[in-house]
Amino acid sequence: MQNTVIVAPATVQRRSTKEYQQLDAAHFLHPFTDTKALNAKGVRIITKAEGVYIWDSEGHKIFDAMSGLWCVNVGYGQQALIDAATRQMQELPFYNAFFQTSTVPAIELSALLAEVAPPGFKHVFYGSSGSESNDTVVRMVRRYWDLMGQPQRHTIIGRMNGYHGSTMAGASLGGMTYMHAQGGLPIPGVAHIEQPHYFLHGQGMTEDAFGLKAAGWLEEKILELGADKVAAFIAEPIQGAGGVIVPPKTYWPEIQRICDKYGILLVSDEVICGFGRTGNWFGCQTVGSRPDLMTFAKGVTSGYIPLGGVMVGERVAKVLIEQGADFNHGYTYSGHPVACAVAIANIKLIQKMRLVERVREDTGPYLAEQFQQLREHPLVGDVQTCGLMGAIQLVKDKATNARFSDAADIGMVCRGYCFDGGLIMRAVGDRMIIAPPMTMDHAQIDELMRLARKALDATLAEVRAKNLS
Ligand SMILES: Cc1ncc(COP(=O)(O)O)c(C=O)c1O
């Protein structure tokens, strides 16, 4: 296993934890958070990080099995990325791409992305986040069909429990009903189909049969809306925020066949799956789809600095470019030179360390093997992994796969024990999920499994003691 240079993190902590908590409560509104409840409890303050570990202001060392928020793919403290940002800030901290101008890092990164992307992706449009990039998708897809003389092709189909970000368009494309319930979403011209979640919707069928059935929901929706009205289908290759839901093998080839049959653009949201997480540069290569557009963010800079974008395949790029007219869309930070410089350093580091191959051939299979052993645990009804993403489905009764009630809040109980034991695993309902840094080695996977087992045992003890059901 090739080692990387890790810099020792320094801590800038001028106040006590209590004082920081009070200031946080007084001024900081956190995303997706009940502020009142958080303020009553007091926020946890993360002060430094190194490799796969983070530390809080009380000195607790915690194994970060979520890579921050699915993004710190190369782990914390990578000097090459820090140097790239420093150099670029000294040389040219900002210039825009609007005034018929470009910058060296933006050009170099665009060429590098074309090199690592699947064949046919030669162009990129930049934003600063996954959400922004999915807004770009909506504008670009509709512009494409306008230019094709089919402006009625307006509707984009997403999936229930899919996640595509939190802007108006991102949250609309996503299928999180609790997000739709706030702010009058989804926006017009978006429809949804059910997710390919075998554990929830496929019991009693073979996985293969369920995969075909779930893909068939797309065809049904297209026919319901009218094929000439549908612009695109957007989906994550493996649903991340929805609970690391790995679809059956038959699902994606059938989705591809349906998109091809009706001429519908396929958009692969690679914000989590991109840059090696599934064992290929992009998730579409793992599941075997051929998208027209790919959204990316997070792993492109390993989260060291915000950057996102859309990789534009030949079919769309050709039409956009040959039209010879403005695409009236863009952001101040499209192609930000510092973000692009960090992305170049990040991609080169992934290449140098052979992290994509390592996930595919070594750490991914090893994690899968270890995760399978969790199936024996009394609380575990199912496990799924793909590369370095994994999910543990908690159940009340293994024999019937009966689930806990919402009131038991079993995921949060387990998450609490993880945190207490020094492990960050995220809870999505009753699924415990991980997406650890791709630099992880076998010893760290073993450590992760030890911590996860300990948290599961503590959760089981609480279930029994409190009769949770
Ligand atoms: C698949 C996917 N798309 C889009 C987004 C939104 O990205 P951001 O939070 O950078 O806006 C996320 C965030 O988790 C995501 O998982």
Give me the pLDDT at residue 14, please. 85
Nearest CA to ligand 1 atom 3: 164
Q: What tens digit of pLDDT does each residue of 284-311 get? A: 999 999 999 999 999 999 999 999 999 9
Give me the pLDDT at residue 11, please. 60
- Residue 293 and residue 194: Cα distance in Å, rounded? 22
Neighbours of 237 (CB within 10 A): 29
Give me the pLDDT at residue 167, please. 98
Q: Which atom of ligand 1 is nearest to the CA of 165?
A: 6
User: Which residue type, as a one-letter code, is found at position 156?
Assistant: I
pLDDT beneath 70: ranges in the chain: 1-12
- What are the beta bridge partners of residue 423? 63
Q: What tens digit of pLDDT does each residue of 193-244 get? A: 999 999 999 989 999 999 999 999 999 999 999 999 999 999 999 999 999 9
Tell me how far the alpha carbon of residue 131 lies from the centroid of ligand 1, in angstroms: 6
Q: List ligand 1's pocket residues with C-beta within 6 A.
A: 129-131, 134, 163-165, 170, 236, 240-241, 269, 271-272, 297, 308
- Residue 437 and residue 415: Cα distance in Å, rounded? 19
Residue 222: DSSP 8-state? H
Tell me how far the alpha carbon of residue 454 lies from the centroid of ligand 1, in angstroms: 30
Three-state DSSP state, 114: helix
- Residue 99 and residue 103: Cα distance in Å, rounded? 12
Give me the pLDDT at residue 10, please. 56
Three-state DSSP state, 161: coil
Contacts of 178 (CB under 8 A, 6+ apart): none
pTM for the whole thing? 0.96
Q: Hey, what are 137's tokens? A: 């998708």
Q: Hey, what are 288's tokens? A: 């075997």
Q: Estimate to the nearest angstrom the gap between the alpha carbon of 387 and the chain centroid.
A: 13
Domain topology for 80-353: Aspartate Aminotransferase; domain 2 (3.40.640)
Tell me how far the alpha carbon of residue 336 lies from the centroid of ligand 1, in angstroms: 19
Give me the pLDDT at residue 4, please. 47
Residues 212 and 123: beta-carbon distance below 8 Å? no
Neighbours of 16 (CB within 10 A): 10
Tell me how far the alpha carbon of residue 175 lies from the centroid of ligand 1, in angstroms: 13
Shared fold status for 17-77+354-466 and 80-353: no
Q: Which atom of ligand 1 is nearest to the CA of 129?
A: 10
Tell me how far the alpha carbon of residue 54 lies from the centroid of ligand 1, in angstroms: 22
Tell me how far the alpha carbon of residue 208 lies from the centroid of ligand 1, in angstroms: 28
Strands 426-428, 380-386: parallel, antiparallel or unpaired by DSSP?
A: unpaired
Burial readout 306-335 (b: 16 or more C-beta within 10 A, e: otherwise): bbbbbbbbeebbeebeeeeeeeeebbebbb
Q: Which atom of ligand 1 is nearest to the CA of 167?
A: 11
Give me the pLDDT at residue 465, please. 96
Domain boundaries, the chain: 17-77+354-466, 80-353
Nearest CA to ligand 1 atom 4: 164
Q: Which atom of ligand 1 is nearest to the CA of 298?
A: 10
Q: Hey, what are 44's tokens? A: 């946890």
Q: Estimate to the nearest angstrom the gap between the alpha carbon of 61 and the chain centroid.
A: 25
User: Which residue type, as a one-letter code, is found at position 10?
Assistant: A
Pick the CATH number of 17-77+354-466 from 3.90.1150.10, 3.40.50.970, 3.40.640.10, 3.40.50.300: 3.90.1150.10
Interhelix angle 337-353/104-116, nearest 10 degrees: 40
Maximum Cα–Cα distance for the chain, whole Å? 69
